[in-house]
Amino acid sequence: MDRKKILEEGLLEKYLLDELSAEERQQVGMAIDNDKGLKKQFELLEEDFEKMALENAIDPPTRVKMRLIEQLQGSNVKTMPKTWLYAAASLALLFLLSSFWMFNRWKSAELNFESLQNQTTVLQERLNALEENYLLTNQRLKTINGPQTIPLILHGNELVPNSRAVAYVNHENKMVVVNAQGLPELPENNTYQMWSDVDGEMINMGLLPTDQELITLKYIDKAESLNITIEPAGGNDHPTVEKLIAYVTL
């Protein structure tokens, strides 16, 4: 068994906690014996466990300690065999390892719960976004299908032949929705922009991305025509007349 697998899967800790199968324990034990780096890390892990045991040890009350000394001094108690000392130490170490194992399991459960909370938050945000998109799309469809809505087709000229955009104008609700997917895709440094002609003045209505089915634009009162031009990416504050590609009168 290689070092990488042992370290990534925490097999040193499981080896110390006796959580491995007999075959895995034998493989990890051989790896520790043959790899000085692993052996040193395992020894450091043992030292950390011992330090944790000492740091978490509880001193007995003073009166208990004094009473035990009096009883030992007033009797012929023999020295406790080392076997019992080893047994007591083993039990203490086992308790410590069990506590460490439980602590790791608790931390793992806490991390999993936090991850689930984050996933729930992300899903809720996506659901809210979908709901907003649905409401917006539903509103646009109602506008398009309303009896007061006028559909206007803007055919492309020689700059973009065989192309078209459809504008849905509702003067009652003062709304303009445009489907620009019939226009050819432009390079990244260009974009389509729509303008309203009011008494000879071109007023910006907004950009026309071709990757969206319906785009809501600014409604302009008393517009005499709708015009589409090709502008630099991000739009322009005035229309580029020589790049007028489509228009329709109202």
* CA 26 from centre of chain: 41
Name residue, tokens 């050819």: 184
The answer as to whether 50 is a domain residue is yes
32-76 pLDDT, tens per residue? 889 888 888 888 888 877 676 566 555 555 665 566 666 656 554
235-249 pLDDT, tens per residue? 999 999 999 999 999
Strand runs labelled E in the chain = 149-155, 164-170, 175-179, 190-198, 201-208, 215-217, 225-232, 244-249
Record the pTM: 0.47
DSSP-derived 3-state class of residue 31? helix
The answer as to whether 191 is a domain residue is yes
The answer as to whether 184 is a domain residue is yes
Q: Which residues contact 25 (CB under 8 A, 6 or more apart)?
A: 15, 18
Say if residue 92 is in the same domain as residue 171: no
Say if residue 93 is in the same domain as residue 156: no
The answer as to whether 203 is a domain residue is yes
Say if residue 8 is in the same domain as residue 75: yes
Handedness of CA 30, 35, 38, 42 (dihedral sign): positive
- Host domain of residue 25: 3-97
- CATH code for the domain of 211: 2.60.40
The answer as to whether 70 is a domain residue is yes
Please report, to the nearest 10 degrees, the dihedral formed by the alpha carbons of residues 240, 242, 248, 249 taken in order.
80
Asked if the model's pLDDT at residue 219 lies above 90, the reply is: yes
Looking at residue 118, its amino acid is N
Q: What pLDDT does 6 receive? A: 84
Query: pLDDT class for 20, splitting at 50, 70, 90?
Result: confident
Number of domains in the chain: 2
Say if residue 29 is in the same domain as residue 93: yes
Q: What pLDDT does 179 receive? A: 92
The answer as to whether 113 is a domain residue is no
Please report, to the nearest 10 degrees, the dihedral formed by the alpha carbons of residues 107, 113, 118, 119 taken in order.
130
In percent, the amount of the chain with pLDDT more than 70 equals 74
Q: What pLDDT does 77 receive? A: 45
Say if residue 64 is in the same domain as residue 155: no
79, 97, 115 - which closes a domain: 97
pLDDT averaged over every residue in the chain: 81
86-124 pLDDT, tens per residue? 566 666 666 667 676 777 777 677 777 677 777 888 878
Instruction: Name the nearest CA neighbour of 16 among 97, 102, 103.
Output: 97
140-186 pLDDT, tens per residue? 666 677 788 899 999 999 999 999 999 999 998 898 999 999 999 99
The answer as to whether 104 is a domain residue is no
